[in-house]
């Protein structure tokens, strides 16, 4: 709605969930209700805007010889489409709208290869999309209609993420952990299937094991991560067995996650990279003895009935060397560089063909 009491505008779109894939068309209707004075304007139009928001921090003098940190907020448009509703005035004269109700249909296309919506529209950093009606009056500001937009990510286009992979680690107490995943590409609602094998020659107490899904994203130069799912794995709890091997099938929540994607423009500040990590934590009795294995995965949007059954007979293997520094992990540590790990997986994948 506008901020003038004599007129009100609403925007309705063709989908109640306000969700669109890139490449689709946003259709809807704009309604204008003029209740008091006539409205004079040269043009009324609706725009669809894609925008990133990020913050930077700089030091400013505090007036006492020291300094304070100040957050600065930035918004950058990477997508803009507008459609005229009233039609421009050829004579540059204003149209006059009498009191009453007016309505206009609109259609605005979304191009392919747009970054996914990230975070709520009022949170920094973010990627957001919104519709906005514009009237060329200085007093008028339309409220925004926020949309959720995701690119289509087909896992079949990333064959390396559909192969089995092995991740190994050894700690200072000679405990060896091997995790074998049947694949590293998933969609929401699928099961993560993997086998966990533990060699425990000194029979140290294995307390329990956690599996987390981390959402990691970089917007401009700002990096963030959060846990979107976490569970305690059953079966391996308070064990001192010399050899442990269990198979797990953990279901990813059936909610719509923004897919793994990288988007970049010539402007270095228009950069979006979102990816996901599985974090497998093996809690072991003692100090600095826990395992934290981070596994890069791809979350897609396209479902194929054969994907959940796909299994490679030549699993790829990645080993983590053990020393005192690498065996000490902190939950705030950034995940390993996604591109380098995926490049390693891809090279190993093609070497097995």
Measure the CA–CA gap between 322 and 24, rounded to whole angstroms.
Answer: 49
Reported as a pLDDT band with limits 50, 70 and 90, residue 87 is low
User: How many angstroms separate the CA atoms of 142 and 49, rounded?
Assistant: 13
**pLDDT computed for residue 138 by the predictor:** 54
User: Which of 150, 184, 217 marks a domain boundary?
Assistant: 150
Alpha helices in the chain (DSSP H): 338-351
1 in a structural domain? no
pLDDT on residue 89: 53
- What is the number of structural domains in the chain? 2
Given pLDDT bands bounded at 50, 70 and 90, which one contains residue 85?
confident
**Is residue 232 domain-shared with residue 137, that is, in the same domain?**
no
Give a yes or no: residue 102 inside a domain: yes
Give the least confident one: 24-28, 64-68, 78-82: 64-68
Indicate which CATH number applies to the domain containing 13.
2.60.40.640
Whether pTM exceeds 0.85: no
Whether residues 58 and 103 fall in one domain: yes
Question: Do 72 and 191 fall within a single domain?
Answer: no
Q: Report the b/e string of 21-49 with b at 16+ CB within 10 A.
A: ebeeebebebebebeeeebebeebbbebb
Q: For residue range 206-260, list pLDDT tens digits in order.
A: 999 999 999 999 999 899 999 999 999 998 999 999 999 999 999 999 999 999 9
Region 23-38 average pLDDT: 89
Where is the domain boundary, 150, 175, 206?
150
Question: Torsions phi, psi of 161, nearest 5?
Answer: -85, 0
Q: Where is the domain boundary, 150, 182, 209?
A: 150
Q: What is the residue range of 315's domain? A: 155-351
Summarize pLDDT for 107-124 with one digit per residue, the tens.
999 999 999 999 999 999
Sign of CA dihedral 162, 164, 169, 175: positive
Helix, strand and coil percent figures for the chain, each rounded to 5: 5, 50, 40
C-alpha 24/C-alpha 18 separation (Å) is 12
Same domain, 53 and 173: no
């Amino acid at each position: 709605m506008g901020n003038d009491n004599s007129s009100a505008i609403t925007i309705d779109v063709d989908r109640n969930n306000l969700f669109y894939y890139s490449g689709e068309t946003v259709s809807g209707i704009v309604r204008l209700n003029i209740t008091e004075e006539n409205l004079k304007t040269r043009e009324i139009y609706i725009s669809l805007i894609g925008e990133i928001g990020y913050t930077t921090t700089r030091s400013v003098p505090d007036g006492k010889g020291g300094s304070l940190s100040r957050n600065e907020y930035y918004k950058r448009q990477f997508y803009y489409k507008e459609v005229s509703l009233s039609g421009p005035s050829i004579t540059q004269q204003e149209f006059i709208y009498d009191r009453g109700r007016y309505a206009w249909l609109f259609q605005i296309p979304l191009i392919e290869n747009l970054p996914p919506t990230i975070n709520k529209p009022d949170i920094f950093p973010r990627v957001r999309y919104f519709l906005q009606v514009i009237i060329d009056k200085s007093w008028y500001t339309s409220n925004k209609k926020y949309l959720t937009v995701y690119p289509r990510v087909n896992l079949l286009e990333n064959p390396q993420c559909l192969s089995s992979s092995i991740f190994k680690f050894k700690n200072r107490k000679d405990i060896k952990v091997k995790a074998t995943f049947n694949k590293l590409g998933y969609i929401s609602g699928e099961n993560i299937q993997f086998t966990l094998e533990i060699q425990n020659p000194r029979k140290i107490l294995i307390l329990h094991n956690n599996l987390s899904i981390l959402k990691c994203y970089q917007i401009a130069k700002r990096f963030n991560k959060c846990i979107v799912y976490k569970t305690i794995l059953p079966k391996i709890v308070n064990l001192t067995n010399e050899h442990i091997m269990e198979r797990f099938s953990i279901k990813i929540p059936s909610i719509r996650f923004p897919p793994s994607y990288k988007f970049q423009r010539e402007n270095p500040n228009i950069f979006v990279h979102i990816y996901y990590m599985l974090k497998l934590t093996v809690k072991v009795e003692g100090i600095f003895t826990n395992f934290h294995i981070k596994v890069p995965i791809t979350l897609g949007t396209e479902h194929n009935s054969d994907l959940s059954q796909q299994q490679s007979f030549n699993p790829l293997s990645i080993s983590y060397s053990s020393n005192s520094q690498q065996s000490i992990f902190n939950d705030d540590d950034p995940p390993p560089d996604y591109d380098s790990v995926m490049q390693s997986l891809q090279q190993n994948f093609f070497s097995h063909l």
